[in-house]
């Protein structure tokens, strides 16, 4: 499902815990007995699709490894309101200090997975692939992209280092696009993917003439122009649709015959899902 590794999670968790309590949790250290034990359930306040089970557990156990987390759901599982997704038990001070960081991360990731699942279901049966973009929260890209996969979506290039992707601002400073693409294909390893974004149908000829692009992105095209673009490309490259895609429009976009639909909203403006940690202390 993912290439997300523990070291990536741990780096984010350590940073977040340090940000939240740079000199310790003054409230818990002052008011909560050192011997107190907390028992807590991670409870869904609304239905959704889980993402971030590993992240939640690592956040809850980093401060004190004696804290135990029992999972009742796995990443990618759908759940209803009231579902208990995990149980936590351990020293109360550690549980209380980690609570907000653990919730912030799992709520955001689960919100992304839930929204992604809705987009994926909206294109079911069309063959179109729903993918994310680089419009992620700085520092959280690995977690957010994992969440997209938990929802059934796919990932675009991970970073600027992964593929050649000529966008509108690149094209604005390239005097001869066909020649530039041919040269790129000649210079790059055969394993390097080349994608070119166009925002008008009349730009397609220059891209196709180079015979270099593995993917052509049709950005902010009307449905009629998407259909025309798919026909003009004619299988010479994968066709990606992008720009202002919503749940209301993605089904119609998929029906034009595009191969990939990229949706920035999966990560850049998603709402965190409402999950709560119900704690009792003894």
User: Residues with catalytic annotation?
Assistant: 100, 135, 167, 197, 219
Q: Which residues are annotated as a binding site for substrate?
A: 100, 133-135, 157, 167, 197, 219, 242-244, 263-265
Q: Cα separations (Å) of 13 from 59, 63, 64, 252, 265? A: 6, 10, 13, 40, 24
Give Cβ neighbours of residue 130 (< 8 Å, ≥ 6 apart).
116, 119, 120, 123, 152, 153, 154, 250, 261, 263, 266
- Could you list the residues known to form a binding site, using ranges: 100, 133-135, 157, 167, 197, 219, 242-244, 263-265
Complete DSSP assignment for 265-277: HHHHSPPPP-EEE
* β pairing state of 275-281 and 37-44: antiparallel
Q: Which residues contact 274 (CB under 8 A, 6 or more apart)?
A: 44, 45, 46, 107
């Amino acid at each position: 499902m993912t290439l997300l590794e523990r070291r990536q999670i741990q780096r984010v968790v350590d940073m977040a815990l340090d940000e939240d309590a740079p000199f310790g949790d003054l409230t818990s250290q002052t008011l909560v007995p050192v011997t107190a034990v907390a028992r807590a359930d991670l409870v869904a306040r609304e239905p959704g699709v889980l993402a971030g089970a590993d992240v939640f557990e690592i956040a809850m156990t980093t401060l004190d490894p004696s804290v135990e987390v029992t999972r009742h759901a796995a990443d990618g599982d759908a759940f209803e309101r009231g579902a208990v997704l995990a149980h936590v038990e351990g020293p109360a001070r550690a549980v209380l200090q980690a609570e907000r960081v653990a919730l912030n991360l799992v709520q955001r990731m689960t919100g992304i997975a839930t929204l992604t699942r809705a987009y994926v279901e909206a294109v079911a049966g069309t063959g179109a692939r729903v993918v994310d973009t680089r419009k992620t929260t700085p520092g959280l890209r690995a977690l957010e992209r994992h969440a997209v996969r938990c929802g059934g979506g796919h990932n675009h290039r991970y970073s600027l280092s992964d593929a050649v992707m000529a966008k509108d601002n690149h094209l604005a400073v390239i005097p001869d696009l066909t020649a530039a693409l041919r040269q790129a294909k000649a210079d790059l390893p055969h394993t390097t993917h080349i994608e070119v974004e166009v925002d008008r149908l009349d730009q397609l000829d220059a891209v196709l003439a180079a015979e270099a692009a593995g993917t052509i992105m049709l950005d902010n095209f009307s449905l009629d122009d998407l259909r025309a673009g798919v026909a003009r490309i004619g299988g010479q490259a994968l066709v990606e649709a992008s720009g202002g895609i919503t749940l209301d429009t993605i089904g119609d976009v998929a029906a034009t015959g595009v191969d990939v639909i990229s949706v920035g909203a999966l990560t850049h403006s998603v709402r965190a899902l409402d999950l709560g940690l119900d704690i009792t202390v003894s």
